[in-house]
Structure 1
Amino acid sequence: MKKTFSGFPLVLAAMTLGVGLHASTSLADTLDDVKARGTLVVAIDPTFAPYEYTDDSGAITGYTPAIMAQVAKTLGVKVEYQKMAFSGIIPALISGSVDAEGSSLNVTAERAGKVLFVAPFGKSVNAVMTRADDKRIDPTGLKVESLAGLSAAVKTTSAPEQLVKQFNVELKSKGLAPIKIVGVDSVDQTLSALMTRRADFILDDITVLGSLLKQHPDNLRQVGELGTSQWISWATRKDDTRLNKVISDQIIAMQSSGELQKLQQQYLGVTFDLPSHDFIPAK
């Protein structure tokens, strides 16, 4: 009996090790699994137009699905999207429920501690837009001081509104007039405030402004970016370096060929200069 029980832990340990190795191998070999299966299972929250959204027919479309379609073509597989709430995407990825995630993520040091980002395909930064006939703001080396005493149309409780409030603290410390905040409820209302001259400029993300400029190219003028910027990317599990490289290589190749810029202009109304490495911010 003593011999039987003394051996049992060894058998159990071996079985546990085997299970652990199988799970590890399964996660590490996602690229092989994808190719063998013929599908790339991707988690997505398609509510972030124009990056990823659902059209009137219910199909997932936008800038990022167009890129993902090229990734799948390179792999010789089909994309199978799994819709879920944005908050559940990274947990689903880490647990192995999906092969990759296809929702646009701001690249942060905190997220980089949990997942492996692919080469960025987008950029998030606020910018200033004026009426085309308003030349008061110099686009060359735009600074906060250039906005002193002017009025800004921003969405109420938004990040741009908070940024204007920070600008006003800076302007006050320099003895300059603050920016008047014209708070509204939607992007369309910011445009209305600008064109009816209730505001001198709009402050919002460059993709939002790019969409407005695309709709009204003769009436609007983007004069520069202000505030900190973040790269936008997808992620894989940290073990999936091979799958990550395939996706990253496709994004980099599309950028080199100019295809990525065409998609940016088509969907976002703006183009980006994107890094291929060293894009993770420091903690």
Structure 2
Amino acid sequence: MKKITAMLAFVLAFSSSLFASYNDIWEQSTLNQVIDRGVLRVGLDAGYMPFEMTNKQGKIVGFDVDIARQMAKAMGVELEIVNTAWDGIIPALVTDKFDIIMSGMTLTSERNLQINFANPYIVVGQSVLLRKGLKDKVKSYKDLNDPKYTVVSRLGTTGDIATKRMLSKAKQRMYETEADGAIEVANNKVDAFIYDLPFNAVYASQHPDQLIHLDTPFTYEPLAWGVRKGDPDFVNWLNNFLTQIQGDGTYDKIYGKWFESSEWQKTLK
């Protein structure tokens, strides 16, 4: 009888331990926190065409926003956009200001030391916005690697890294926003802007008389959603969600709206 009682006590203690562990996992999982809260908080830095921008009504729109909307729908929760300055977006995620970064962020080894990433949802690369006067002189990013040229990008981005690494001989300046750097080229104050191809393609189409777009990307840039470390449950769900929307046509529909049409440009400020 004593053996049976001891065995029952052991089973009950083990079951309690398992239940406690399960509760801990549930509470630690961002996905479960989102479901319990009823709101998915998405961190982004509005200003990166066509991923996240502000329209004439002051609403943040774009490719990432539409994907986030589908993500929240799949979770059965509301969507909350948290507009965050780029230089603080990773610290804000780590300190739980929002649940996920969906802001055209390139997956890099350095960033991966701080946060985890889901599978890449799109691949882009750095390209060159060139002032019109250099049309016959510069045919490739390599031609800009010369002290006579001033090349700019956005501070803290992979464009910043590529400029410093691959155009080390050129004069360099870094700006706080994409628009600040690109407008300097359009106004003939600097020679070239190095940044992600999608942004440069849109900006060049808006300033055809001032800019030339060298649209062959010269870096490999997989963009991915960033989440806090230690949360495989959330990463697993995100990867499966991406597979689903890529397979059922949802992704292609959203991609076509923002990358294969220019109608959305009429809605911007």
Q: TM-score, normalised by structure 1?
A: 0.61
- Equivalent positions of 1:116-265 (< 5 A) are 117-121=118-122, 123=124, 125-132=125-132, 134-138=135-139, 142=140, 144-145=142-143, 147-148=145-146, 150-155=148-153, 159=157, 160=159, 163-169=162-168, 178-181=169-172, 187=178, 190-191=181-182, 193-224=184-215, 228-234=219-225, 237-240=231-234, 241-242=236-237, 244-251=239-246, 253-254=248-249, 257=252, 259-265=254-260
1:89 matched to 2:97: no
Structure 2 residue identity aligned to 1:204: Y
Identity of aligned residues (%): 14
Structure 2 residue identity aligned to 1:89: L
Structure 2 residue identity aligned to 1:81: E
Q: How many pairs were matched up?
A: 247
Say if 1:42 and 1:79, in contact at 8 Å, map to a contact too.
yes
CA offset digits 1:84-136 (Å, max 9, x no partner): 8632425649xxx95x654444324563996451441353x332122346222
Q: Distance in 2 between matches of 1:245 and 1:144?
A: 40
- SS in structure 2 opposite 1:106? coil
TM-superposed deviation, 1:213: 1.3
Pairwise CA RMSD of aligned residues?
4.7
The correspondence for 2:39, drawn from 41, 55, 62, is 41
Q: Distance in 2 between matches of 1:136 and 1:246?
A: 46
Say if 2:150 and 2:191, in contact at 8 Å, map to a contact too.
yes
User: Mind listing any 5+ residue stretches in structure 1 that lack a counterpart?
Assistant: 170-177, 270-283
User: Mind listing any 5+ residue stretches in structure 2 that lack a counterpart?
Assistant: none
Q: Which has the higher strand share?
A: 1
Q: Distance in 1 between matches of 2:250 and 2:55?
A: 26
Q: Distance in 2 between matches of 1:116 and 1:185?
A: 24
- Equivalent positions of 1:61-100 (< 5 A) are 61-72=61-72, 75=74, 77-81=76-80, 83=82, 86=89, 87-89=91-93, 92=96
Q: Distance in 2 between matches of 1:8 and 1:76?
A: 39
Q: Distance in 1 between matches of 2:144 and 2:12?
A: 73
1:15 matched to 2:16: yes
Q: TM-score, normalised by structure 2?
A: 0.64
Q: Distance in 1 between matches of 2:115 and 2:122?
A: 20
Q: Structure 1 residues 149, 164: closer, same or farther in 2, change over 3 A?
A: same
Q: Structure 1 residues 205, 89: closer, same or farther in 2, change over 3 A?
A: same
